[in-house]
Amino acid sequence: MSNIADNIKNIQSKLEGTGASLIAVSKTKPVEMLKEAYDAGIRDFGENKVQEIRDKYPTLPKDIRWHMIGHLQTNKVKYIADKVYMIHSVDSYKLASEISKRALEANRVIPVLIEINIGDEESKFGIRPDELEELLKSINTLEGIKVSGLMCVAPYTDNAEDNRAYFKQMKQLSVDIMRKNIDNIDMSVLSMGMSGDFEVAAEEGSTYVRVGTSIFGERDYNTGM
Ligand SMILES: *Cc1c(COP(=O)(O)O)cnc(C)c1O
């Protein structure tokens, strides 16, 4: 078995019995490595760059579900509206409305998640928890998108337990919003947890963990691959 297949098996076994599914975050990694993950059973891949999705999409099997997990510029939505299964990183009305427009052109409904800056970090994208209700009430009439839940990138830490409180807050936020019964808003997806903290995230109610390094190894941004 390849390393990649081993790593996947190892992670899957840790997720067993939790409600969390694994998204393999393949950004910067060559398609050969994605194929190995595919052969090991992975169908959900996460990418954070529009260009990489455009490059990889045509060369890989069509039953892959591509998740856009990175910051998305409105002028690039048109390139991926027909390719992505879900967009995890919606944090403005402007972006939601552009996704709506391009989804309608592509004749589909795109599930989207609202990105929450749960650690209130200046370096991160996403909205504050107290901005969520207002954003939802402004985008819930848009056709072509279906708000399906929340996503966060928790603060970087060497100790996963440090993030447990943030994951609890995310879960509570989604429960609180669900209770408000806002039309056309669903909160069944919670996208949280990465290589360093996915087990804690799964314990706290994550439905998608996004794991890159623990599957594919460290990323090398210098070579472009
Ligand atoms: C890169 C990335 C991940 C995966 O991070 P790892 O630490 O490599 O597992 C998850 N989510 C987002 C949004 C990312 O950009």
pLDDT digits (tens, 9 = 90+) for 114-172: 999 999 999 999 999 999 999 999 999 999 999 999 999 999 999 999 999 999 999 99
Which H helix or E strand runs over 115?
strand 110-116
Q: Which ligand 1 atom sits closest to the C-alpha of 27?
A: 1
Structural domain boundaries enclosing 94: 4-15+22-216
Ligand 1 center to 107 CA (angstroms): 30
Please name the residue whose Cα sits nearest to atom 7 of ligand 1: 195
Whether 83 maps to a domain, the answer reads: yes
Sign of the dihedral through C-alpha 84, 184, 92, 208: negative
The token pair at 116 is: 């929450």
Q: How far apart are CA 146 and CA 109, in angstroms?
A: 7
Ligand 1 center to 70 CA (angstroms): 9
Question: DSSP letter string over 1-31?
Answer: --HHHHHHHHHHHHHTTSSPEEEEE-TT--H
Taking all residues of the chain, what is their mean pLDDT, rounded to a whole number?
Answer: 96
Ligand 1 center to 194 CA (angstroms): 6
Ligand 1 center to 179 CA (angstroms): 30
Reply yes or no on whether the pLDDT at 80 is more than 70. Answer: yes
pLDDT-derived band at 51, boundaries 50, 70, 90: very high
| Proportion of the chain above pLDDT 90, given as a percent | 96
Q: How far apart are CA 169 and CA 22, in angstroms?
A: 21
- The pLDDT value given to residue 224: 47
Whether 222 maps to a domain, the answer reads: no
Mean pLDDT of 69-95: 98
- The pLDDT value given to residue 1: 57
86-102 pLDDT tens trace: 999 999 999 999 999 99
Ligand 1 center to 97 CA (angstroms): 26
Record the pTM: 0.97
CATH number for position 44: 3.20.20.10
Whether 34 maps to a domain, the answer reads: yes
The token pair at 98 is: 């552009």
Whether 37 maps to a domain, the answer reads: yes
- The pLDDT value given to residue 2: 74
Whether 221 maps to a domain, the answer reads: no
Whether 119 maps to a domain, the answer reads: yes
Whether 206 maps to a domain, the answer reads: yes
pLDDT-derived band at 220, boundaries 50, 70, 90: confident
Whether 87 maps to a domain, the answer reads: yes
Pocket test for ligand 1, best of 8, 210, 219 (most atoms within 8 A of CB): 210
Going by the DSSP 8-state scheme, the letter that residue 162 receives in this structure is G
Residue 210 beta carbon below 6 angstroms from any ligand 1 atom: yes
Ligand 1 center to 183 CA (angstroms): 31
Question: DSSP letter string over 30-89?
Answer: -HHHHHHHHHTT--EEEES-HHHHHHHGGGS-TT-EEEE-S---GGGHHHHTTTEEEEEE
- The pLDDT value given to residue 225: 45
Q: Where are the beta strands (DSSP E) in 160-207?
A: 185-191
Q: Which ligand 1 atom sits closest to the C-alpha of 214?
A: 9
Please give the tally of structural domains in the chain. 1
Residue 88 beta carbon below 6 angstroms from any ligand 1 atom: no
